[in-house]
Structure 1
Amino acid sequence: MTAGPATAAEALAGLARTRPPGWLAAPMPTDPVALLQRARQALAADHPDVNGKVSVIRARYTAGVLAVHQPEGSLVLKLHADAAAYAGETLAYALLAGVAPVARLYAEGEDSLSLLLEYLPAPAEWSRPHMATVLADCVAAVHTASLRLPEEAAEAMAAFSLSTLRKVPAPAWIYNPAAYDEVLAAHVDAYGPALVPLGHLDLKPEHLRRRSDGDVVLLDVESVRPDVTGLIDLITLPAVLRQAGHELSAARVLGLYLDATAARGAGWTAGSLKNALRAYAAATGLESLHGLDR
């Protein structure tokens, strides 16, 4: 088998869009001391009932992630530097809660652009042989989540359904609108016109965590969008699995995804999914499908 890319990001060569300099007006502090101060301010402003020792997990200019350690159980505090990213993540959790295996969202803070999330320090047990199937199942659950939304949520997201997306111009980042319409048409055939095509998970081995009861869930859904389709995640799956120590052929990965989505109502065939992948590459400028279309 031909060796594939080392990381999921490299798997998407040609698709990435570089943000212009200065796109973020007020970056999050990356100095841990300054981030801790920002966290204390956020807790006081929007989460006054949450107390405990705060420690930094990750400090990036786009978002800071911290743990709040409490006797009754720790929480994750996530601070966004960008209001749009905060709004997108809260929407993603609202859509996925109860219908996909993602971390629990406990509280939001609009003034501080903060989220209080489930604390999941235990990584997934990647040494177990069935983990490739588990990952495919988790991803498929997100991609098909809109098929299981409560009626009120489904009505609220109707503007992002496949039937609506096919009537409006393609997003600005699409190179080939005609090919993009082929992608959407393939999804209509597989799921029906009411699907909201959620996709663009930030997939990496460390973002799969294990609860104390053994359930495996996905972390970090801030990048999920209702207009990218799940094909972007399928393309990264072989690289993510390789990083986690599971060398699977492209055909095997495609088969796992077909099985996982079929179990949740999809009507893909191997042929229709491969055709959709080729159209997606043409629409987005993606350089390689890493054998998934063969």
Structure 2
Amino acid sequence: MSTIAVAGPLAGAARVRRDGWLTTPLTTDPTRAEAQVRSLIYRHHPAAPGPVRCLTARYRTATFTLGSPPRQLLKRHGDETAYLGEVLAYQLLGDEQVLPELHSTSDTTRTLVVDFLDEAADIDTKDGFDELIAAVTAIHTAPARWAPTTAEAMSRWRVDAAANAPSPAWVLRPAAWRELTQLTGAAHGKEHVPLGHLDLKADHCRRRPDGRLALVDAETLRPDLTGMADLVTLAYLGQADGRCLSPRWVRQAYRRHTNGLGAQWGDADLVRAMRAFANATGLTSLHGADQ
């Protein structure tokens, strides 16, 4: 299976499959995609409102608005792993109020229905970006607030287990990965599950009906990457699209919010963790976040 390097905040560390790798890709014809969803929605999501309108039709995912005006969003996955990852994200973060509300899922059709959030959250101001950082840190620290049953189900991903296991196959430098794991465990506790790798983009920042910032497209969340990937991405976003937010300010805001939710990051250790993440994964730049 071929992979290609991706430009952007995680260049060097990120890899993506080429188009065409799915054995059964979704149709990219919006009319056909809409017809397919109409045939399945009443069987698998009977409470969903109508009418159905195709929003995007891509070979990996398709999205559809439900209701007029749109009230909910149906997302269909061509890749089972991505579907299961997004459902897992909703299960793990349901109490954090940082995602749209989930209404229903269907493993059979790899579809899920969530609130349709049409209002964009402005992250161009310092206050708006600080709100984004707060949402990200709520996700990173969520394991500390999990119910015992959830914590037990996710125990295989704990940092103390990772410290005694071989590093993942995609890690380039195991010693740097062990350092990152140790630093993460020291800051969050040995029972911490290192959630991270959010698909952070300005367009994915929306407003929930309660006014809180929510992140859409949670399919990339993983329980083994730590929060460093997202901190690096936040530093990148703070300087993208005309924003002029200091990477050092982003790091300090991240540490303030994370520690306010129970972590114990010292600034020097947070810098060490970012550098260890870069060394372990081949990341080409920390975008000034370690300065």
Per-residue deviation at 1:9? 5.2
Q: Give the deviation of 1:79 after TM superposition.
A: 0.3
Q: For 2:97 and 2:226, how far apart are their aligned partners in 1? A: 16
Distance in 2 between the 1:37 and 1:9 partners? Answer: 35
Cα deviation for residue 170 of structure 1 reads 1.4
Structure 1: which 5+ runs fail to align? 1-7
Report the counterpart of residue 31 of structure 1 in structure 2: 29
Structure 2 residue matching 1:265: 3-state secondary structure: coil
Q: What residue is the counterpart of 2:235 in the other structure?
A: 238
Give the deviation of 1:127 after TM superposition: 5.2
CA contact (8 A) 1:205 1:241 kept: no
Do 1:205 and 1:244's aligned partners in 2 also have CA atoms closer than 8 Å? no
1:66 aligned counterpart, secondary structure? strand
The CA RMSD over aligned residues, in Å, is 1.8
Contact 2:238/2:250, CA 8 A, preserved across alignment: no
Question: How far did residue 99 of structure 1 move?
Answer: 2.5
Q: 1:101 to 1:9 in 2, by over 3 A?
A: farther
2:47 corresponds in structure 1 to 49
Please state if 1:113 is matched with 2:88.
no
**2:141 counterpart letter in structure 1:** T
**More relative contact order, 1 or 2 (CA 8 Å, 6+ apart):** 1
Give distance in 2, aligned partners of 1:173 and 1:100: 32
CA 1:244–1:278 in structure 2 vs 1: closer, same or farther (change >3 Å)?
A: same
Indicate which of 91, 97, 101 corresponds to 1:94. Answer: 91
Contact 2:206 2:214 in 1 (8 A): yes
The normalised TM-score by structure 1 is: 0.92
Q: Which amino acid aligns with 2:79?
A: D
**What residue ranges of structure 2 are gaps of 5+ in the alignment?**
1-5
Cα offset, 1:233, TM superposition: 0.6
Q: Distance in 2 between matches of 1:289 and 1:203?
A: 16
Alpha-carbon distance in structure 2 between the residues aligned to 1:41 and 1:214: 34
Mapped to 1, the partners of 2:7 and 2:90 lie a distance apart of 23
For residues 127 and 119 of structure 1, the distance between their equivalents in structure 2, rounded to whole angstroms, comes to 22
Rounded Cα–Cα distance in structure 1 between residues aligned with 2:102 and 2:247: 34
Partner of 1:65: 63
Q: How does 1:1-294 map to 2 (within 5 A)?
A: 10-19=8-17, 22-69=20-67, 74-126=71-123, 128-243=125-240, 245-294=242-291
- Partner of 2:198, secondary structure, is coil
Q: What TM-score, normalized to structure 2? A: 0.93
User: Quick one: structure 1 residues 165 and 225, their matched pair in 2 at CA, closer, same or farther if it must change by over 3 Å?
Assistant: same
Match of 2:8, SS state, is helix
Give how far 1:22 is off.
4.2
CA apart distance, 1:239: 2.5
Separation in structure 1 between the aligned mates of residue 168 and residue 55 of structure 2, nearest angstrom: 34
Q: How many residues align?
A: 286
- SS class of match (1:10): coil
What is the alpha-carbon distance in structure 2 between the residues aligned to residue 250 and residue 241 of structure 1?
7
Question: How far is the alpha carbon of 1:128 from its aligned partner?
Answer: 4.7
Distance 2:48 2:97 in 1: 27
* Aligned equivalents of 2:280, 2:39: Cα separation in 1: 44
